[in-house]
Amino acid sequence: MTTRLRILDDGAWLSVDDTRRVSVSELWRLDSTEFCDCDLADLVVENFQAVGVDGPTVEVRVYGQCITCGTKSTTGWIPVGRIVDGEFTDLERESVLSAHSEG
Amino acid sequence: MPTDVENWKSEVYGNEIREHLFRFAEEGFETIPDDERDAWFERFKWWGLYHQRNGQEGYFMMRIGTPNGVLEPGQLRVVGEIADEYARGPGTNPIFGESYADFTTRQSIQLHWIQLSDVPAVFEKLEANGLSTQQACGDSWRNIVGNPVAGKDGQEVIDAWPVIRDLNETFKGNDDHSNLPRKWKVSVTGSADGSGQGDINDLAFEPAYKEIDGEDEVGFNVRVGGGLARNEPRLARDIDVWVSPDQVSDVAGGLSALFRDNGDREDRYNARIKFLVDEWGPEQVRETLQEEYVDFELRTAGRDVREEYTYNTGEGERNDLIGVHKQKDGTNFVGLNVLVGRMGADDVLELADLAEEYGSGEVRLSQRQNVIVTDVPDEELDDFLAEELLEHYSPDPSPFMRGSIACTGTEFCSLSIVETKNRQVRFARWLKQHVDLPDDVDEFHIHLSGCTASCAQPQIADVSLRGMKTRKNGEAVEALDVGLGGGLGDEPQFARWVTQRVPVDEVPGAIANLIESFAAERNEGESFRAFVDRHDDEELDAFVEPEETDYEDPMMHNTKMTWYPYAEDDGMDASPPTPADD
C-alpha cells in the first residue's frame, strides 16, 4: 500500500493521502544545534520545504524562525508522524522534536 | 523533475476542467476519488474555485474576475443575488453576518461557502450577465488590473479600458496561454496617478509618450517581474520597451509565451517570472522577446509620467480613489470606503440600487478593496451622498478606516497563519476612537496579510502587518510582524520589517505609540513615509512599542486549528459535515 505525501498550498500544508494533516504556524520546540544557538529552538513553522520518509516515519524539512533568538533558516529532517497500517498518525509535536540532516 | 502540480496540469488543465467540474457537481462532491482530491482541487482553481480550508470540507471560495474592476450596469446586483442565495454556510461571521462579498486587492470579487452542486447554476447566472470565474485563480492570466476609472478619469493620459478589454478577450480561454508555470498578473494603466499599481505585477503597461515621426504619441512603457509573495518582493523591471495601444496584445502575448516556455516548472517557489528576470536581467528579457516572440521592431521606452504618481505613495493628493472626483464627461465618480473590502449581501444589493438611481448603474472596484459609483451628475450628488448606506460605506472616512486592507485570513484560507479581516476591523475601530493623527495627515495605510503570500499587499503600506506566531505567558498566540514606510510612486519602496512577533492584542497599542512618536518627532509637514525613511531600523523598532491597552482580541488562540474561528464550538471535532448534494 502506498501513501501519498505532498506539500500543498504553496508550502502551507503537508497532505497525506489527499488530506491536509500538518500545517504551518505550529510552534515546535526543536532540539537542533544546527538550526540556531539556543539550547532549544522555539520554532515557528512558516513553510514546508520537503517531505520524505524514514521507514514508517514521515519527516519534513521546514523553513521557519526561532522566536527566542530570531534565527531564520531551513531545518534538517524533523519527524511529524508515522504511517501505521496505511494510516497517518500524528507524532506528539507539543513535546521536544529532533532534527537530523540525513535525508 | 516536474512538480505534482505540473503533472496534474499535463493531464487535465484549462478549459477542459469545466466538464469535469460540472460532472462532479452533478454526481456529488463525494464522487471525487479520495486519491484525486489534491489534483482536482488544484485544477478547479483555474475556474475560480478554491476548496476552503480544513474543517470546511466541501465548501469553496469562488473568485469572479472583473477586468479592471469594472462592473457594468446590473452586474453588481447579480453578484449580490448570487452572494445572497449561494454564499451561505454553517459559519456566521459576527461582524459581517451570514452572507457577504469580498472585494479584493486585484479588483476581483470573492464569495465563500459555495457548494460544488451549485456551481453550474452560479456559472449560468454569471455568464448570462457577462461575468466569469474563468482563470480567476490558477496558473494563467489572472484578472487584469488598472486604474478602475479608466475611460472616465479626468486625470488620465490614455484610456486603457479598451486595451484591457481586448487583452481579456484574447487571453481568457486561450489554449496557448492557459497553462503557464505559475500565475500571471497583468496591470494596464492609462492614468497619471499610478493607480494600476503596475510595479507589483508580473507585467505592467504604464502610460508613456514616444516621439514617432516627429509627433508625440501616447502609449505604454513595459515593465516585467514585479510581485510581493514569499518574502521575495520585487518591483517590476523596466525592459526599455514602448508600445502603441494596438501593439499591447502582441507584446503581452509574447511575454506570456516567453514565461510559458522559460519559467521554472520544477520548483513552484521559483516559478514566477520575477525570478526569471532576476536570472536573466531585463536586457535578456528584451532580447528574447524581440528575437523569438514578436515579429516587429520593438521601440525603446518612452517618456513616462511616473513622477506624477500619487496612488498609495504615502504623501500628496489622491493616495486612493475615495471621495468625489470629476469625470471627463462632467459627471462624478464617488469612491466609497469598504472596510477590509467586505460588504454584506444586503448592502451589495442596496448599493446596486443606488448606483442605478443616481448614476448609470455601473460600479467599479479599486485595488484598495473599495467601490466606486460612477457617472453621478452634479445635480444628483447631494442626494446620493445623503443616502444612509453611505454612513457605513463613507466617501469621507476616518484615515484608519480608509487605510485598512486585509486579506482573507484563517477564516477560510489554507495559507494564512492568523485571523485577519475581523481583527483589522477591530484595529481600525480602536484606532479611530483612541488615536489622533497630526492635523495635516489625512491618510494612513495599514495593510494586514495573514502570511507571506502578501494578498493584502503589506509591503506597500505605511504600517505593514504580517501573520506570525509567538508565545505570551508561555502560551502560543497569534502575532504580527510590523513593517514601516512602504509605498509606491516614482520611487517605490517596500516596508522595512522593524519589529517582529508582536502579540496581536498589543498591536493597536504599538501603532498608537508609533503615531505618538511620529507626531512628536516629525519635521514640519513631513509625511510618515519620509519620517520612516530618515530613521534606521533600530530607531523605528523603538517607536513601535508594543503595549496592552483596553483593546481585547478574542482570537488570540491558534485560529488555524479551528474549523471556523468565530464559532461557539470552534474545535476541529465540531466541523460541519460535507454539504449534502442537492
Q: What is the ipTM of this complex?
A: 0.90
Q: Note whether B192 and B279 are same-domain residues.
A: yes
Collapsed DSSP state (helix, strand, coil) of residue B364: strand
CB A51 within 8 A of CB A71: no
What separation in angstroms does the CA of B100 have from each of B80, B81, B179? 8, 10, 31
Same domain, B501 and B415: yes
Q: How many angstroms separate the CA atoms of A99 and A31, rounded?
A: 7
How many domains would you assign to chain B? 3
Residues B105 and B165 in one domain: no
Quote the domain boundaries for residue B533: 401-561
Q: What is the CATH number for B444?
A: 3.30.413.10
Report if residue B66 sits inside a domain.
yes
User: Is A93 an interface residue toward B (CB < 8 Å)?
Assistant: no
In a domain, residue B123? The reply is yes
Residue B312 to residue B318: CA distance in whole angstroms: 8
Contact list, A29 vs chain B (CB under 8 Å):
none
Contact assignment for B414 to A20 by CB distance below 8 Å: yes
Give me the residue from B38, B452, B476 closest to A15, CB to CB. Answer: B38
A102 pLDDT above the threshold of 70: no
- Domain-embedded: residue B324: no
* B497 contacts on A by Cβ (under 8 Å): none
Pairing type for strands A78-84 and A57-66 reads: antiparallel
Q: Does the distance separating the beta carbons of A25 and B558 come in below 8 Å?
A: yes
% of chain B beyond a pLDDT of 90: 95
HEC-encoded secondary structure of B460-473:
HCCEEEEEEEEEEC
Question: Average pLDDT of B521-537?
Answer: 97
Q: What is the mean pLDDT of residues B306-332?
A: 94
- The reply to whether B213 falls in a domain is yes
Supply the mean pLDDT for chain B: 96
Phi then psi dihedrals of residue B293, to 5 deg: -130, -10
Q: What is the pLDDT of residue B178?
A: 97
- Note the pLDDT of residue A3: 87
**Quick one: B206 and B268 in the same domain?**
yes
**Alpha-carbon torsion B554, B560, B566, B567, what sign?**
negative
Q: Give me the pLDDT at residue B17, please.
A: 98
Residues B502 and B557 in one domain: yes
Hey, are the CB atoms on B36 and A42 less than 8 Å from each other? no
Q: Which of B440, B436, B438, B448 has the alpha carbon at shortest distance from B403?
A: B448
Residue B576 falls inside a structural domain:
no
pLDDT in the model for residue B560: 87
Last residue of a domain, one of B248, B276, B308: B308
Task: Kindly state the average pLDDT of the residues B35-44.
Answer: 96
The 3-state DSSP class for residue A7 equals strand
- pLDDT reading at B261 higher than 70: yes
- Phi-psi region at B230: left, alpha or beta (left = phi > 0; alpha = psi -120 to 50): left
- What integer is the mean pLDDT of B373-377? 98
pLDDT band for B163, please (50, 70, 90 cuts): very high
Burial B435-453 (b: 16+ CB within 10 A, else e): bebeeebebbbbbbbbbbb
Domain match, B420 and B545 both:
yes
Mean pLDDT of B330-355: 98
Residues B103 and B204 in one domain: no
State the pLDDT at residue B582. Answer: 59
Residue B299 lies in a domain: yes
SS3 A27: strand
CB distance A9–B470 less than 8 Å?
Answer: no
Residue at B386 is within a domain = no
Residue that is written with C-alpha cell 544546527 in the block? A34
How much is the average pLDDT of B281-294?
A: 98
Residues in B closer than 8 angstroms to A16, CB to CB, are none
> Which residue, B12, B18, B46, B8, is CA-closest to B134?
B46
Residue at B373 is within a domain = no
The residue of A2, A18, A20, A25 whose CB has the most chain B CBs within 10 angstroms, and thus the best one to mutate to test that interface, is A25
pLDDT, one tens digit per residue, over A76-97 is 999 999 999 889 999 988 888 8
Looking at B257, B287, B308, the residue that finishes a domain is B308
What confidence category does residue A33 fall into, taking pLDDT thresholds of 50, 70 and 90? confident
Q: What pLDDT is recorded for position A98?
A: 87
On whether the CB atoms of residues B511 and B480 are closer than 8 A, the answer is no
Mean predicted confidence (pLDDT) in B259-279: 96
- Residues B177-209 pLDDT 10s: 999 999 999 999 999 999 999 999 999 999 999
B212 pLDDT higher than 60? yes
- pLDDT of B303 strictly over 70: yes
Mean pLDDT lowest among A82-91, B44-53, B98-107, B498-507: A82-91
Same domain, B412 and B548: yes
Which of A9, A26, A44 is closest, CB to CB, to B415? A9
Q: What pLDDT, on the 0 to 100 scale, is given for residue B491?
A: 94
Bridge partners of residue B64, in order along the sequence: B109
The whole-number pLDDT of residue B581 equals 66
Which of A 8-37 lie inside 8 A of B, CB atoms?
8-13, 15, 17-20, 23-27
- Inter-chain residue contact B452 with A46, CB threshold 8 Å: yes
Residue A35 has φ and ψ, to the nearest 5°, of: -80, -50
Check pLDDT > 60 for residue A103.
Answer: no
